[in-house]
Amino acid sequence: MHTLMQCLQRLRVLGVILMLAVLTAGLVSTAQAADPDQELNQAVGTINADTWREVKNGENFIDTRHDSTYSLINTSGETWRQIRNDWISPAGLIALGSMLAILVIFYLIVGRNDLDEERTGRKLLRWTALERAMHWTVATLFIVLALTGLNLLYGKFVFRHAFGDAFWANLIALTKLTHNYVGPVFGILLLLMLAKWLTVNLPRKHDWQWFKQGGGMVGNKHPDAGFANAGEKAWYWILASVGLLVIVSGFVLDFPLFGQTRDNMQWANMFHAVTSLILMAVALGHIYIGTLGTEGALEGMTTGYVDETWAKQHHNLWYEEVKDSAGQPEQQNPPVDDDTATANRPN
């Protein structure tokens, strides 16, 4: 019966993954079929060789921005548009689609990383209530920003053609408003989260061995890991580097109050798109490992507690430091408060 339930669960998971794969394929085919030049013709009318000659000669000047010396139709804007449509948009779809495909193949071949031994029932507090609230708030805002960002970049190729201009106009207005207001909140909370978890994510000598063993997939012994293993540290530093680029470029776009030129905004837009797509692609791997990919990982972030067996297998060095605080098997709520668990963490 247990084996049957596992098979049914795996089939449900595969069904969801296949639906995501089909949606991604649909986005790719729709984007390829769409004509990116239509948006330019809609915005400023018929654009031809004569128009560009007038722009280069300074004869075509359409602008209402205060103290601006740029034309609404300008060569740098056309360069930005071509880079976005011909390079960034297709590359983003390839990156996201490839990551989904890799995860599907990995799940089908390797499956979930189950515990090697039976659970003991003894619980260890891994995440305090404050930490879980911070994680889920940042995660929720990230998902909102990812979905609205994808809609800003690709939505016109799908929803406008499917539901018409009126629906698309209202949807994109709501999307832009949501993205612009949620972005700064996400940025501030991400900085706070990075500061809070800096010490447990500093590199250690044993981290290299963790990578060499593929997190335990190579060899017959699980690699050493402290409170955060090397894979989690890699995700942390991606957030601390690529994530900061997303935040900075987003603030430049969100608050055009500091003398940014149109060229500055165009460069910021490209940096924001590229770094955001990279972050989304890597985040898919993080989400997979923390949910479907690893037994017991999700319950740690939902309840705050992990089983003693899970701690020994995945974070043995941390387990050795906090094992004396593990609750007895019969205890549903181990007598360990948040302050005690936090104090037991390595500095």
pLDDT tens, residue by residue, 23-58: 454 444 444 444 555 555 555 556 667 766 766 665
How far is residue 231 CA from its own chain's centroid? Answer: 15
**DSSP H/E element including 239:** helix 230-254
Burial 259-275 (b: 16+ CB within 10 A, else e): eeebeeebbbbbbbbbb
Taking each continuous run of H as one helix and of E as one strand, the counts in the chain are 15, 2
- Indicate the pLDDT class of residue 262, thresholds 50, 70 and 90: confident
| Locus of tokens 């084996």 | 3
Q: What's the mean pLDDT in 155-177? A: 92
Choice between 100 and 76, residue whose per-residue pLDDT is larger? 100
Q: Comparing 159-163, 202-206, 328-332, which segment has the lowest mean pLDDT?
A: 328-332
Q: 227 with 345: CB under 8 angstroms? A: yes
Mean pLDDT score of the chain, rounded to an integer? 82
Give the C-alpha separation, 206 to 276, whole Å: 30
pTM above 0.85? no
pLDDT tens digits for 269-318?
A: 999 999 999 999 999 999 999 999 999 999 999 999 999 999 999 999 99
Burial 103-138 (b: 16+ CB within 10 A, else e): bbeebeeeeebebeeeeeebbbbbbeeebbebeeeb
Q: What's the mean pLDDT in 164-184? A: 95
* Domains of the chain, start order: 82-343 (1.20.950.20)
Whether residue 90 is predicted with pLDDT greater than 80 in this model: the reply is yes
> How crowded is the C-beta side of 102, counted as CA atoms within 13 Å?
13
Vertex 127, ends 126 and 131: CA angle to 5°?
A: 160
What is the reported pLDDT for 221?
A: 80
Give the C-alpha separation, 328 to 25, whole Å: 50
pLDDT tens digits for 92-136?
A: 999 999 999 999 999 999 889 999 999 999 999 999 999 999 999
Q: 235 with 207: CB under 8 angstroms? A: no
